[in-house]
Amino acid sequence: MPTGDGGSVEELLADNEESARLGLLDLGAERAPSMLRAFTHVVSAAAVLWEVTSPPDSIDPLVPDPMAQLREIGSAIHRDYSSGRWPGVGVLDERVMRIALNLDQAGLTLLAVPSAERLPDAGPGVADRSVALRQRVIHTLYVEAHGLRVALGRYAADVTHQLQRDHLRRTQGAAAPPRRTGRSAGDR
């Protein structure tokens, strides 16, 4: 299904999967705050696309919706950084934001199509297009969340190391014997 810019929904989602995988190669601690801020946009866009790709008869109260918990987590993170808590307001990671924008574009593309035509059969080997699209969305979220966890772990390790160095400097400075500034009583 063309998106208007030459790509298809499937191509946008394939680009996201590749981008998430490539992102695993560059997970420096310094990127963690901007990745976390941008991840909330990815979750929001994925949730919309998830709903758009839901077949009308797919709602089963006994089957948990994986997006419900992700939406709650994304909202909590967004509230925290919007209120000034860590990581605070700041730049958004460009690569992660591209994933969010691709998800937005895929959702808008599907919404522009009448629902009866939106999810035709994907062909042999795949039960339907809905399942295939949702698998790609959840896979991208999984890989991106893993990368975010690794970056946050590195960030936490850097902060811990810095705090330990600062503590060591303070305690070594306090434990050092006082310097003599003049003659001692024995020198008089």
Nearest residue to 91 (alpha-carbon basis) of 23, 38, 149, 28: 38
Q: Which has the closest alpha carbon to 17: 119, 146, 121?
A: 146
For the cut 70, the answer to whether the pLDDT of residue 187 exceeds it is: no
Q: 3-class SS at 8?
A: strand
Distance separating alpha carbons of residues 43 and 152, to the nearest angstrom: 17
Residues in a beta bridge with 8: 2
Residue 85 amino acid letter: R
Residue partners of 28: CB distance under 8 A and separation at least 6: 151, 154
Measured distance CA(173)–CA(168) in Å, rounded: 8
**pLDDT reading at 125 higher than 60:** no
Q: Cα 80 vs. chain centroid, distance in angstroms?
A: 15
pTM exceeds 0.85: no
Q: Tell whether the model's pLDDT for residue 18 goes beyond 50.
A: yes
Return the pLDDT at 66: 82
pLDDT at 175 over 80: no
What is the per-residue pLDDT across 40-94, written as a single tens digit (0 to 9) for each?
999 999 999 998 887 666 666 777 778 888 888 888 888 887 787 777 778 999 9
What's the pLDDT score for residue 76? 85
188 vs 77, 181, 183, 184, CA distance in Å? 67, 14, 7, 7
* pLDDT digit string, tens, across residues 93-119: 999 999 999 999 999 999 888 766 666
Q: Can you give the length of the chain in residues?
A: 188
What residues does each domain of the chain span?
A: 9-173
Residue with tokens 């969305």: 137
pLDDT tens digits for range 24-33: 998 889 999 9
